[in-house]
Amino acid sequence: MGETMTFKDKRIILTGAAGGIGEALARQLAAEGARLALADINAEGLGLVAEACRRSGSETIEILTDVTDREQCQALVARAVEAWGGVDILLSNAGVSMRARFDEVTDISFFERLMAINYFGPLYCTYYALPYLKESLGRIVVVTSSAGKLGAPMHTGYAASKHALHGFFDSLRTELAGTGVGITLVAPMYVKTGIRRHRFEADGSHPSVDPYHDSKSKSMTAEQAAGIIIRSARKGKREVNISFELKAGVKLKPFVPGIIDYFVRRKVDPV
């Protein structure tokens, strides 16, 4: 996929499409004329985003999907293939976060849910889409996180799930060498999305409102993050760490790990 490639008529599966970065991705890809199979567990939000994409002229279908369910992931891919005869891009974006010190967690079971959504979801979708991506010489695009590159306090389970993504897809990339299938991993840092409203607290519950503070001036919008993800896929990038701070942290950690740990403790999302 070269720099001049457009997404017009590309057959794209996008998970986590009902809001945040996923919604922004859907709208931007629809504006380019992509054919979209939008997936999410939120039926109402998914329907609204799909309708907006159709109004933009995009051929769009919506598939209610819980990515933790293998059969639903299989059905998602099958529906896209039934509609268009194949898949060009699998864009795994669905995710959930947490905020709790590990020694204060009272319901540890939500760690399994974190791993199921953030790691097994992309794995399942990739498994079922891969034969079609080989046929189309397509691309897997995965939205990870800065927590997948650097550990972060209050985010132990979330960071573990995102580290797992990098390990899996870096390994898969070596297996797919010569097949024509590319893999792009994109790790945002601070992005203004509704993910915090669905994060897990220490007791396994979710906040009643989005606790994000607009005062974090360095945070980018979901639209900005989506633009970077799309450009990264367009250029066939291997891995993109969004933000200077994350890039610097990743490069310096092998040499000054203690300093990077201090930096992360000071800079981690306080909400």
Assigned domain for 197 exists: yes
Report the C-alpha gap between 38 and 163 in whole angstroms: 25
User: Helix axis angle, 222-234 relative to 20-31, nearest 10°?
Assistant: 50
CATH of the domain at 254: 3.40.50.720
According to the model, what pLDDT value does residue 127 have? 98
Report the C-alpha gap between 108 and 33 in whole angstroms: 43
- Residue 154, C-beta contacts closer than 8 angstroms, at least 6 positions apart: 98, 99, 100, 101, 268, 269
Could you confirm whether 158 is annotated as catalytic?
A: yes
According to the model, what pLDDT value does residue 269 have? 52
According to the model, what pLDDT value does residue 225 have? 94
Q: How many domains does the chain have?
A: 1
Assigned domain for 1 exists: no
Assigned domain for 163 exists: yes
Assigned domain for 2 exists: no
Burial classification of residue 247, based on how many CB atoms lie within 10 Å of its CB (0-12 exposed, 13-18 middle, 19 or more buried): middle
Q: Is the dihedral of CA 22, 185, 173, 70 positive or negative?
A: negative
Catalytic entry in 158, 190, 212, 262: 158
According to the model, what pLDDT value does residue 213 have? 46
Assigned domain for 6 exists: no
Assigned domain for 4 exists: no
pTM over 0.85: yes
Statement: residue 25 has pLDDT above 70:
yes
Assigned domain for 84 exists: yes
Q: Could you read off the pLDDT of 203-259 as tens digits, one per residue?
A: 888 875 555 544 444 578 999 999 999 999 999 999 998 766 766 666 767 777 777
* Domain membership of residue 150 as a residue range: 11-267
According to the model, what pLDDT value does residue 195 have? 60
Assigned domain for 169 exists: yes
